Amino acid sequence: MLLVSEPVLGVPEKAALSKVIDSGWLTMGERVRAFEEAFAAMHGADDCVAVNSCTAALHLILHGLGIGPGDEVLVPSLTFVATVNAVLYVGATPVFVDIESEDVPLMSVKDAEARCTPRTRAVILVHFAGYLAHKEEWQAFASVRGLYIVEDAAHAPGLKEVGTFGAGAAFSFYGNKNMTTAEGGAVISRDPELLETIRQARGHGMTTGTRQRLNSRTPQYDVTMLGFNYRMDEMRAAIGLVQLRNLQEWNDVRRILVALYRRLIATRCPDISMPFSEPRTSAYHIMPILLPRYVNRQDVIDEMRAQGIQTTIHYSPVHQMTLYRERCPGVHLPRTEDFACRELTIPLHPQITSPVVEAVVDALASALTKSARAGAAA
């Protein structure tokens, strides 16, 4: 089965893990610190905080900003549910915002303006598929209203622009991301005070960590804030240091593959549309396409699978999921809902070759034809 995403793992990662095991120190220590410094440097930041997931990163940013009960946070519905869950974690209320268009499936500034209230405190921008939101437009929007900007950059590691929009950016190193630590995440913020609050909060609010107490020979510590168990361990950091060395090259491969996909699909599957037709900075995390309305998406999924090709959907709208349908009744986002009904994600990762891309597009063209015939016969 050709997978939608697949991590690149090999001998260097195994060697890095072996060194951690041989060292006898597994929890947060020197490798985590080295990974933080390297990841920050790649993004032109002074520092960052490594954590155990992007979800934790989002939670810690909102927590560190003091967002809580009574506050509202603008969020897209076209995202993974963790983006919205993080708002509930701090006791705030998520307010769903529609996308701009099927070509730009990023949160709409115009719709965000319509949904602002005196209780709105922040907006979470999701760089969907790795494509960056329009920074100046959102900064102007937030500045006029005194709002915090939080970036969900799970899809956009390696781009220096990420982490410069506002308060902070949250990254993911889950197994299907551009680089992986299996599980893991990070926070970049240009606000040193916020970053230090997040650093302390990730480890139960303790004033020192285990490694620090060992080196100082003093077992004493204090707890000065509410904290969480969101630390990254040495094994994940060791994998991350290896992966990070390849990230820019892998992102370049993704860019080349996307360009090939766009050219071939435009020629062989002209009824399929592809978001982000205009040039835009991207880490090219996934390859989303929009199927024509005359085909049944499940038929296409089944036919692609029969040909050994996995596909998936990014995303089922969060506002239509049972939890949020019950918590936020009556939400209607027409552009998000239409996009989500037609979107299909096809394979994209650095181990794919040009002939594989051609085979995927050929399979896609065949699947469209079969689905159209089945629809006509019915």
Whether the CA torsion 302, 304, 308, 309 is positive or negative: it is: negative
- Pick from 239, 242, 196, 237: which is nearest to 27 by CA? 237
**3 in Cβ contact with 347 (< 8 Å):** yes
- Pick from 195, 135, 193, 194: which is nearest to 159 by CA? 135
Rounded to an integer, what distance in angstroms lies between the CA atom of residue 36 and that of residue 46?
10
Q: Looking at residue 343, what DSSP letter applies? A: E
Q: Is 289 exposed, middle or buried (0-12, 13-18, 19+ CB in 10 A)?
A: buried
Contacts 24+ apart (CB under 8 A), 250-256: 250/8, 250/178, 250/179, 250/350, 251/158, 251/178, 251/283, 251/284, 253/350, 254/130, 254/178, 254/283, 254/284, 254/285, 254/348, 254/349, 254/350, 255/282, 255/284
Question: Global pTM?
Answer: 0.95
**84 in Cβ contact with 61 (< 8 Å):** no
SS3 249: helix
> Residue 76: beta bridge partners?
97
Residue showing tokens 């949160």: 107
Question: Which residues lie below 8 Å from residue 277, measured CB to CB, with a gap of 6+?
Answer: 103
Structural domains of the chain ordered from first start: 11-244 (3.40.640.10), 247-377 (3.90.1150.10)
Q: How far is CA 325 from the centre of its chain?
A: 23
Residue showing tokens 């090259």: 249
SS3 188: strand
What pLDDT tens digit does each residue of the chain (378 aa) get? 999 999 999 999 999 999 999 999 999 999 999 999 999 999 999 999 999 999 999 999 999 999 999 999 999 999 999 999 999 999 999 999 999 999 999 999 999 999 999 999 999 999 999 999 999 999 999 999 999 999 999 999 999 999 999 999 999 999 999 999 999 999 999 999 999 999 999 999 998 766 666 666 667 888 999 999 999 999 999 999 999 999 999 999 999 999 999 999 999 999 999 999 999 999 999 999 999 999 999 999 999 999 999 999 999 999 999 999 999 999 999 999 999 999 999 999 999 999 999 999 999 999 999 988 887 666
Catalytic entry in 110, 160, 177, 370: 177
| Amino acid at the residue 71 | D
Res 371: pLDDT: 85
**42 in Cβ contact with 247 (< 8 Å):** yes
User: What is the full DSSP assignment across 4-72?
Assistant: S------HHHHHHHHHHHHHT--SSSHHHHHHHHHHHHHTT-S-EEEES-HHHHHHHHHHHTT--TT-E
Res 373: pLDDT: 83
| Residue 177 bears catalytic tag | yes
